Amino acid sequence: PTSEQTDDKTIVQNYFNTVGFDRWRRIYGNGEVNKVQADIRTGHQQTIDTVISWIKADTNMAGKLICDAGCGVGSLTIPLAATGARIYASDLSEKMVTEAQDRARATLERTDNLIFSVSDLETLRGEYHTVICLDVLIHYPEDKAQAMIAHLSSLASHRLILSFAPKTTAYTILKKIGEFFPGPSKATRAYLHRESEIVNILTSLGWRIERNAMTKTQFYFSRLLEAWRI
């Protein structure tokens, strides 16, 4: 990797092990938060609910292997595990993974179908029926998105589900960016992606978009795509 790439990742990793961890653990929780954070919480939960509804609408996933890449505190991992699928969840931030493990143990009846690891999604190996990567592309500049998606694609035998902040709402998001990354961590940038570019990447890798959704609240924007192998 180039030093620029290493720096980007190190910054993101440090952020989600420190101030970002505290902030996002609260947003992705049930406790009291401010109005902006509550709005982001609502929007993010809608994205999670949409993914779970798609997974449940499909063939029986019980026993099938799903990779949750960049799992955060397990907001998706936990309801996914409850469907009976086998889940491999990982995140670059050790703190996020530890929190996800604690939440999984506290809320799930069984966790023997769930494996967590601390890792950069680009070092993940193996073959999964479905690979899901929610709200992680926001940490990837445009020129790094192709390689990242190509890697996730190489892990997925049937289905790939991705979400990203669409570039069309750039103006609105840029205005709110101080809320995404407050204080000293403003150094952590938020990258938006043009939907046509993400679709082109997926198409060139042999995927067909089967479902899409848009979650849009006042402070949260996420475009969700579900792709299946052609």
Does residue 221 contact residue 169 with C-beta atoms inside 8 Å? yes
Residue 2 φ/ψ, nearest 5 degrees: -70, 165
Tokens 């709110």 correspond to 176
Please give the structure tokens belonging to residue 92.
Answer: 């670059």
The verdict on 134 binding ligand SAM (CB under 6 A) reads yes
Round to whole Å and give the CA distance between 31 and 40. 14
In angstroms, what is the minimal distance from the CB of 111 to ligand SAM? 18
Q: Which of residues 44-73 bind ligand SAM (CB under 6 A)?
A: 70-72
121 is a site residue for ligand SAM (CB under 6 A): yes
Bridge partners (DSSP) of residue 226 are 161, 211
Minimal CB distance residue for ligand SAM: 72
Check binding of 75 to ligand SAM (CB under 6 A).
yes
133 touches 76 (CB < 8 A): no
Choices 85-93, 181-189, 193-201, 203-211; region in contact with ligand SAM by CB under 6 A:
85-93
Candidate residues 39, 99, 135, 226; the one interacting with ligand SAM per rule CB under 6 A: 135
Rank residues 116 and 230 by Cβ distance to ligand SAM and give the closer one: 116
Least distance (Å) between residue 153 CB and ligand SAM: 15
Contacts of 93 (CB under 8 A, 6+ apart): 13, 16, 17, 20, 21, 118
Q: Smallest gap, in angstroms, from Cβ of residue 230 to ligand SAM?
A: 26
Contact 188, 181 (CB under 8 A): yes
Binding site residues, ligand SAM, CB under 6 A: 9, 12, 16, 28, 70-72, 75-76, 91-93, 96, 120-121, 134-136, 139
